[in-house]
Amino acid sequence: MNMSRREFIKSAAVSAGGLAMMPGMVFAAPARAMTLRAAPFEQAVRTGGPRTNFWGFNGGVPGPVLKFRKGESVRLVVQNALDVDSAVHWHGVRVPNAMDGVPHVTQNPIRPGDEFVYEFALPDSGTFWYHPHQSSFEQVPRGLYGALIVEEDEPIEVDRELVWVLSDVRIGDDGRQTEDFGRILDVANDGRIGNQVLLNGKAAGAELAIDVRRGERIRLRLINAAAARIFQLGLAGHAINVIAFDGQAVEPHVVENLQLGPGMRADLVIDCMQVPGGRYLLTDSHRRNAGPLATLIYSDARPLRDKPLSAPIRLAPNQLPEPDLAKATEHYIMFQGGMRGVPVIGLVDGKPAKTHELMERHGLAWTMNYTARHEHSLMHEPFLHLNLGEHVVLRMINETDFVHPMHLHGHFFRVIAVNGKKVTPQPWHDTVIMGPRQSVDVAFVADNAGDWMYHCHILDHAAGGMMGTIRVG
């Protein structure tokens, strides 16, 4: 039995009651049009704690959960009430190029006091998100991000959906954000990692507890909106049942732990079948000796069901253009740089430069194909030209000692090989992690015309040279 749309909304609304303390976690009713207003505001990340200065959409961190249906056309008005330029990118949504939200590439920046209207159809269901693409290394960690959920034609049969936006913030004892965005020390290392992990804008920890009932079936949508932090997630007490990566369906399977780099998403199914009194802990093994990020607790003795799922819940796949490896052309992108890297000799504005020169003179620390890219020059000059409809294998070669979650706009790609070895399955992603000294091959059809950003989603790395433009058509 499939829940009708109305029942689905009703069940989502019922769930909202018990979760009122966690803003942004429960869906607003579906709507076609939506206004997002970027403005500074303050909120405490810990109950009773000092207030933190954020920039957010519609006065919240995260911004509102935008929820639409597959195929729907949406109109998103972005108002800029900041005193700096901005523009909003719809991460993972296959939009027409002009709606991609990249200032100086697909549109002019939205000036303070101005607005921009984004209008596009939603070709794929799944878990997506939105964030500025202007000075992302500052605007995202200041709080400008939110979830964008596109519901399937036939929603899966669960009792509740949770949207958990993970992030972090770097704050002092007074709760104020430290104003140290874009420091070369962060840019050339792991990026600006915060000292407080946030889940839907609240301090992660044992206090973040959600009541569940035995037998309850939950779809958990996880989004990593952090500027630089990579999560290594575990779910103590329950297997990690993945049904989607980056919004795209995968064959339901269990993973040992879930590495979620900035920009990446995963959808899980949790079948609450522990004995009463049990609990599930969302953990991050990158934070040694730290407690759980959040806890699901059986607090209601009345079971909802007493049988587990008899078959795994699976999502209907979206229609994505299938790359044909037999006729694909190969392209290579090599990455160098970083603090621990060998001294790079790269080009800046066409002139050779060494690592220390890149860092001191340009605030850059990374090169792509030996060239350091930065704003208003090479970053926006396409470094790769693809024909419209071209089948492509992109081999990304990481010659650095750092992890890089690489993101391509406007397309989804299959991850087909790691270190030259074929992988199975070959999931669709829009963002994929390249481990240190690792090569990763992805394949896709360049079917969306325009200039598309391709960059590391550690936003300091992107600002420090790991961002370029791929021209399709």
- Please give the DSSP secondary-structure letter assigned to residue 318: P
> What is the edge-to-edge ordering of all strands in the sheet holding 33-44?
51-57, 33-44, 73-80, 115-121
Size of the residue set binding Cu ion (CB under 5 A) = 4
Return the residue of 455, 460, 465, 470 that touches ligand C2O, per CB under 6 A: 455
Where are the strands (E) in 114-184, listed by range?
A: 115-121, 126-132, 146-151, 160-169
CB atoms near residue 266 (< 10 Å): 24
Select from 67, 133, 214, 380 the one that contacts ligand C2O (CB under 6 A).
Answer: 133
Beta carbon nearer to ligand C2O, 217 or 407 = 407
Q: Which of 199, 272, 456, 467 binds Cu ion (CB under 5 A)?
A: 456
Q: Around 383, how many Cα atoms within 13 Å sit in the side-chain half-sphere? A: 25
Angle subtended at Cα 140 by Cα 167 and Cα 368, rounded to the nearest 5 degrees: 100
Residue 461 binds Cu ion (CB under 5 A): yes
Contact flag: residue 109 with ligand C2O (CB under 6 A): no
Q: Which of 78, 91, 103, 77 is nearest to 451 (CA)?
A: 103
User: Which stretch, 111-119, 301-309, 337-345, 453-461, contacts ligand C2O (CB under 6 A)?
Assistant: 453-461
**Is the link from the previous residue into 123 a cis peptide, with omega within 30 of 0?**
no
Sites for ligand C2O among residues 235-264 (CB under 6 A): 263
Q: Which stretch binds ligand C2O (CB under 6 A): 61-69, 107-115, 276-284, 449-457?
A: 449-457
Residue 455 binds to Cu ion (criterion: CB under 5 A) = no
Rounded to the nearest angstrom, the gap between the alpha carbon of residue 365 and the centroid of all alpha carbons in its chain is 23
Query: Of these partners, Cu ion, ligand C2O, none, which one is at the site of residue 461 (CB under 5 to 8 Å by kind)?
Result: Cu ion
Site for ligand C2O in 297-356 (CB under 6 A): none
The count of residues in the chain is 473
Could you give the CA distance from residue 150 to residue 29 in angstroms, rounded to a whole number? Answer: 12
Region of 465 please: left (phi>0), alpha (psi -120 to 50) or beta. left
Q: Which residue has the tokens 């699901």?
A: 296
Closer to Cu ion by CB, 119 or 401: give it. 401
Binding mask 383-422 for Cu ion (x = CB under 5 A): ---------------------x------------------
Binding partner of residue 455 among ligand C2O, Cu ion, none, CB under 5 to 8 Å per kind? ligand C2O
353 versus 434: smaller Cβ distance to Cu ion: 434
Q: What is the β-pairing status of strands 240-245 and 265-271?
A: antiparallel
Distances (CA, A) of 447 to 285, 306, 409: 39, 48, 12
Which of the listed partners (ligand C2O, Cu ion, none) does 133 bind, with a CB threshold of 5 to 8 Å by partner kind? ligand C2O
Q: Which is nearer to ligand C2O, 142 or 457 (CB)?
A: 457
- Interface residue with ligand C2O among 27, 54, 74, 89 (CB under 6 A) is 89
Q: What share of the chain is helix, strand, coil (3-state, %, to 5)?
A: 10, 45, 45
Instruction: With CA atoms as reference, report the closest residue to 409 among 102, 76, 63, 165.
Output: 102
Q: 229 or 407: whose CB is closer to ligand C2O?
A: 407
| Binding residues for ligand C2O, total number by CB under 6 A | 10
Min dist CB 455 to ligand C2O, Å, is 6
The letter for the amino acid at 322 is E
DSSP string of 183-213, one letter each residue: -HHHHTTT----SEEEETTEE-STT-EEEEE
Contact pick of 87, 270, 458, 467 for Cu ion (by CB under 5 A): 458
Which residue's Cβ has the minimum distance to ligand C2O?
Answer: 91
Q: Which is nearer to ligand C2O, 56 or 234 (CB)?
A: 56
417-452 burial, b at 16+ Cβ within 10 Å, e below that, comes to bbeeeeeeebbbbbbbbbeeebbbbbbbbbbbebbb
Q: Is 188 a binder of Cu ion (CB under 5 A)?
A: no
Q: How far is the CB of 461 from Cu ion (least distance, A)?
A: 3
Q: Does 407 bind ligand C2O (CB under 6 A)?
A: yes
Q: What character string, x for contact with ligand C2O (CB under 6 A) and - otherwise, covers 277-296?
A: --------------------
Read out DSSP for 158-170? -SEEEEEEEEEE-
Does 409 bind ligand C2O (CB under 6 A)? Our answer is yes
Q: How near is the Cβ of 131 to ligand C2O at its closest, in Å? A: 6
Instruction: Pull the structure tokens for residue 358.
Output: 């890149």
> Which of ligand C2O, Cu ion, none has residue 404 at its interface (CB below 5 to 8 Å by kind)?
Cu ion
Q: State the nearest-atom distance from the C-beta of 462 to ligand C2O, in Å.
A: 7
62 binds ligand C2O (CB under 6 A): no
Applying CB under 6 A, which residues contact ligand C2O? 89, 91, 131, 133, 263, 407, 409, 453, 455, 457
Residues binding Cu ion (CB under 5 A): 404, 456, 458, 461
